[in-house]
Each structure stands twice: as structure tokens, then as C-alpha cells.
Amino acid sequence: MFATSRDAVKRELALDLGAEAVFAPERQTARALIEATGGRGVDAVIETVGEPTWDLSLRSVRPGGMVVVAGATGGDNPPAQLRRVFFRRLTIAGSTMGTRGELRRLVDLCATGALRPLIGATHSLSDAAVAFAEMARGELHGKIVIAV
């Protein structure tokens, strides 16, 4: 698994969490990812940024690969690049948080300790505005917990 981030500290965190390699999301990164996969390209990309990283996602995925769009924090209307999509036989799939049942299973995994999300900060309910401000500034390195 590879990860990208504009922030060097977040790239380092991704390495600490198990990424094989990390990259800044720049145009030449697609070439580096293709080289890192022996010339193939990655099997799938989880795209959460949108416009600023869309081109990189489409250029990094292997022919016949998939780009899963799970967010658009940087803009929701990138150029589609339809020729690239059909000539390379790419699948573009949308994804949201999941179903209520999937959320229940996720909560159960966390409750039993089978899954331990990275907690970046914990705030009381009365400090929720501070937590949202941290999130808006992109200062997050893990999940924010609001303790009720």
C-alpha cells in the first residue's frame, strides 16, 4: 500500500502505520508509483481529495484498475478525462461510509479491540468547536473524539 499527502508529517505517519512508501501528490508521482509497482500501476486508488489529485489517481492506476471516490475535500468537479477512463478500461466507483449494519460491525470491532483507530485528539463536548476548528485547519493526525 502506498500513501500520498501534501504534509511531510502525515507522510511519515503513514509510513509508521505500515505504508510501503509515501509520496507528495505531484505530477511526477504517477511515474514513481508505476515504477514502484514494476511498471504496472496500482490496482486501486482511494480518492478522497478530488480535483487536486484526480489526474494523479487516473494516471497511477493500472489498466483495468479502479478509482474509488470516497470524498472530494479539495473540489468535486475535476476534468473527467474520459479518454483515459475508456482507453485504460478504468472503473470509477463511488463509496460512502457504508450501511447501518456495516457501521454496527465497525463499532463492534472497535469495542472488542480488534480494530484500534488512531486517536489524534480528545475533546469534551463543550470544546467541540475547538475540535471542528482543528479539523478545518487540517491539523488532524488521527481521529478526533468528542467525549460526552
Domains of the chain, CATH where assigned: 2-94 (3.40.50.720), 100-147 (no CATH)
pLDDT at 31 exceeding the cut of 90: yes
Confidence of residue 16 (pLDDT cuts 50, 70, 90): very high
pLDDT at 140 exceeding the cut of 90: no
pLDDT at 139 exceeding the cut of 80: no
The reported pLDDT for the residue numbered 27 is 86
The reported pLDDT for the residue numbered 98 is 87
Confidence of residue 138 (pLDDT cuts 50, 70, 90): confident
Specify the range with the lowest mean pLDDT, choosing from 18-27, 49-58, 134-143: 134-143
Query: pLDDT tens, 45-61?
Result: 999 999 999 999 999 99
Unique residue bearing C-alpha cell 478500461? 89
The reported pLDDT for the residue numbered 141 is 87
Query: pLDDT tens, 93-102?
Result: 999 888 999 9
Distance between CA atoms of residues 105 and 19, nearest Å: 25
61 or 134, higher pLDDT: 61
SS3 category, 116: coil
Nearest to 92, CA basis, from 112, 72, 111: 72
Nearest to 23, CA basis, from 1, 54, 43, 40: 1
Specify the range with the lowest mean pLDDT, choosing from 57-71, 102-116, 128-142: 128-142
Range list of β-strands (E), the chain: 2-4, 21-23, 42-47, 61-69, 91-94, 119-124, 143-147
